[in-house]
């Protein structure tokens, strides 16, 4: 696992103790793919003080018009782990932002749901906006709703929970969490969207597991995968063991 370089004059030991470690999965002179740990906010936001992915990665990032979020072309929620694509130059930022807008970046996730969807696979096609009663949440038909489509396939039915593979067509805030809550299958331990806490998991079971795109300069097709981090892997094994005990 590769941490961001500490600033000149800082205490490296203290940096290792305090700053989250972010794995650099791929890096070239135009872009990088990183594996974000759970608990790390992507960029500064109102009410947040402390480390962010932007502050940890530092000079690795570049491009874009917003000085508070250089290089950021898409986001993951604070407690969602896994792969993110970031830019290092203005040119790459423009190209990657356009690729995401035109849905040419493939983003696949693993999620553990309470219950099981009615079909083994399908598409949730429902516009999302701010919840009128709770603005920090997103809801189908909420304020300023925009089109949102989530494709899914059930990988394993594990008694009271189900492991699903999810592919985003659009990338709205909290899209996966809000969509599965809307069909009655919130993510395990996703308290904000009504997901029951199970197996001692402290955050929603959601991981950005696969990322595919064409390099904006070379046109090379790139694909990266990320294994489940320990807390999610242990939760999945606990769910499987529970099913085995009942058989």
- Catalytically active residues, by annotation: 77
The structure tokens listed for 216 are: 């904006």
CA dihedral 115, 235, 187, 228 (to 10 degrees): -130
Burial zone of 119 (CB within 10 Å; 0-12 exposed, 13-18 middle, 19+ buried): exposed
User: What b/e readout covers 20-36, taking b as 16+ CB neighbours within 10 angstroms?
Assistant: bebebbeeeebbbbbbb
- What is each CA distance from 234 to 51, 92, 109, in whole angstroms? 26, 37, 17
Asked if 4 and 19 touch (Cβ cutoff 8 Å), the reply is yes
CA nearest to 40, candidates 81, 4, 70 = 81
Strand, helix or coil at 22?
coil
* Backbone φ, ψ for residue 157 (5° rounding): -95, 120
- Give the helix/strand (H/E) hosting 125: strand 121-125
- Give the helix/strand (H/E) hosting 165: strand 161-168
Strand, helix or coil at 138?
strand
């Amino acid at each position: 696992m590769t941490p961001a370089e500490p600033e000149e004059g800082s205490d490296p030991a203290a940096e290792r103790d305090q700053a989250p470690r972010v794995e650099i999965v791929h890096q070239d002179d135009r872009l990088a793919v990183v594996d974000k740990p759970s608990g790390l906010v992507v960029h500064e936001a109102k009410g947040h003080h402390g480390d962010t992915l932007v502050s940890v990665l530092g000079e690795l990032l570049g491009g874009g018009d917003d000085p508070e979020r250089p290089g950021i072309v898409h986001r993951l929620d604070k407690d969602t782990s896994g792969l993110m694509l970031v830019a290092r130059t203005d040119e790459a930022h423009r190209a990657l932002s356009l690729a995401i807008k035109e849905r040419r970046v493939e983003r696949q996730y693993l999620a553990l749901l309470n219950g099981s969807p009615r079909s083994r696979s399908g598409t949730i096609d429902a516009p999302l906006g701010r919840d009128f009663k709770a603005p920090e949440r997103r809801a189908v038909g909420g304020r300023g709703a925009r089109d949102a489509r989530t494709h899914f396939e059930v990988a394993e039915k594990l008694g009271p929970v189900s492991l699903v593979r999810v592919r985003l067509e659009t990338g709205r805030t909290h899209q996966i969490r809000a969509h599965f809550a809307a069909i009655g299958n919130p993510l395990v331990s996703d308290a904000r969207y009504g997901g029951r806490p199970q197996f001692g998991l402290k955050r929603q079971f959601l991981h950005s597991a696969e990322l595919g795109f064409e390099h904006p300069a070379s046109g090379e097709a790139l694909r990266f995968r990320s294994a489940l981090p320990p807390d999610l892997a242990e939760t999945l094994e606990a769910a499987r063991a529970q099913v085995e005990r009942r058989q």
